[in-house]
Amino acid sequence: MNTEYELFSQTTAALAVVLLLVSLISAIEAILEARTAQGAIAWAISLLTFPIVALPLYLVFGRNRFDGYLEERVEIEDQTLKLLRETRGNIEEHIIAPSTDFPLYNSLYNLAHLPSTTGNRVTLLINGQATFDDILTGLASAESYILFQFYIIRDDALGRELGRVLIDKAKAGVDVFLLYDEIGSRQFPRSRLYRQLRMTGVNVAAFNTTQGRRNRFQLNFRNHRKVVVVDNRMAWIGGHNIGVEYLGKSKRFGHWRDTHLRLEGPAVLGAELAFATDWRWATKEHLPIDWNFDSTAQGDSKVLVFPSDPASEFEEAGLMYHEVIVYAKRRIWIASPYFVPDRAIISALQLAALRGVDVRLIIPDEPDGPVVGTANWSFTSELLPAGVKVYRYQGGFMHQKVFLMDDDLAGVGTANFDNRSFRLNFEITALIHDQAFAAQVGDMLERDMAQAFEVTREDVANKPFWFVFAMAAARLVSPLL
């Protein structure tokens, strides 16, 4: 008995030492690599004080740098640029060179590693019916290949309708590549639709953020992109996922307010490059498509496709938002379902309003989570005194990720106005420099504001006493939302 007790004691002591050593190493890693001082301090104290609880949490949620993906992206970009130089579809005549006339392009180009291009046609798609009708029509026209990527894919009426088109195209000899996030679409691999797609020749892959030695336990990363490409002629980017709720058919959410767009022209290459890099990460194979481009201009819009990810040196999505806020001279209107920004973004919004810019934020009046909703009120209370206008949308659940800067630059994509999109998610946004398109976006956002109420300082002041503490608590955990 004594021998068994001694063995148990020795084993327990050894495990405790290992736990403390791993926690110490993790605390040092958090101090060296955390992107915010608050995060570094919080993780270090937790890991050294409560290692048995904090260590598993850190392994899952602690890191915000995704390892390995950046190398894949650089290789894809180099390979594609080489292919473009060798093919007949050269798009160099459409590339916008750096210029002092519009320096915003210079910084965003350096972040995106993609150039802005002229010669594009952009079509604004408002809400689910218009979006999926347009995508279905585009898919039906495919002759060579289809790239199809969504964060959420459900085996419901909408998923099956799109799936039938993909299956028919695969049977007709079109190469179809489907990519999904394994956490956002966690039920999809067990669905009948998934099996049908694979059995009929559709190339299906999960992005799988947990692959790679240092990413193994990191469930906190998400591939949040929604990209469809047909034959390098057309691309779709925006906020919708594949599910009937995005058509407004959810009993929980009711009307679903969302925005997508269709691109035609040289900017389609940016969407293809983002998909190709994700496909390479997911499958360890190059995307076998023909990269030839028709260099004929399709329209007059200047477009920069802006992918962002947690593997890069900079927080690209956050810096993109920060740059357009700082650059705005007349107005900056932002619509997002999640409003949980960092300190730098809050300061930029305050300063923009103080210098006379018309700063407006449109967020849902009923967010899809109480903590997110409470955090919204906390940040709102800071912005109102500076003159920022905050509108809470009441026409259903608002899910669009849209911004409008001045009268000529608009952004439509997948990046929310929160720390998760800034630091943890793989996102993609189309930036359109075109007065006519910006006017359409402005009209759309004005209609949204007509279905919202403007928050006043009295609205915040009249909140019950306990709500002040709830706002403070929500702010503490906001970096994790």
Spatial contact of 270 and 307, defined as CB atoms under 8 Å apart: yes
Active site residue 251: no
Active site residue 284: no
Residue 199, CB half-sphere, CA atoms under 13 Å: how many? Answer: 8
Active site residue 231: yes
Question: Which of the residues 94, 169, 322, 399 is marked catalytic?
Answer: 399
Active site residue 406: yes
Task: Compute CA distances 338 → 133, 171, 369, 420, 465, whole Å.
Answer: 27, 40, 10, 10, 24
Spatial contact of 341 and 472, defined as CB atoms under 8 Å apart: no
Q: What is the DSSP string of 78-137?
A: HHHHHHHHHSS---GGGBPPP-TTSTHHHHHHHHHTS--EEEEEEEEEEHHHHHHHHHHH
Q: Which residues contact 9 (CB under 8 A, 6 or more apart)?
A: none
Question: Which of the residues 134, 155, 175, 231 is marked catalytic?
Answer: 231
Any idea how long the chain is? 481
Phi, then psi, of 41 in degrees rounded to 5: -65, -45
Q: Using DSSP, state whether 468 is helix, strand or coil.
A: helix
Q: Which residues contact 227 (CB under 8 A, 6 or more apart)?
A: 147, 148, 149, 235, 236, 237, 271, 274, 275, 428
Active site residue 133: no
- Could you tell me where the DSSP H helices lie in 237-369? 268-283, 316-327, 343-354
Question: Which of the residues 406, 408, 459, 463 is marked catalytic?
Answer: 406
Question: Which of the residues 94, 224, 240, 302 is marked catalytic?
Answer: 224
The b/e string for 427-464 (b: 16+ C-beta within 10 A; e otherwise) is: bbbbbbbbeebbebbeebbeebbebbeebeeebbeeee
Active site residue 249: no
Phi, then psi, of 187 in degrees rounded to 5: -85, -15
305/67 Cα distance (integer angstroms): 23
439/51 Cα distance (integer angstroms): 54
Q: Tell me how many degrees the CA angle 407-408-412 measures, rounded to the nearest 5.
A: 110
Question: Which of the residues 94, 226, 240, 433 is marked catalytic?
Answer: 226
Phi, then psi, of 312 in degrees rounded to 5: -85, 165
Considering only CA atoms, which of 413, 353, 415 is closest in space to residue 380? Answer: 353
Query: Annotated active-site positions, please?
Result: 224, 226, 231, 399, 401, 406
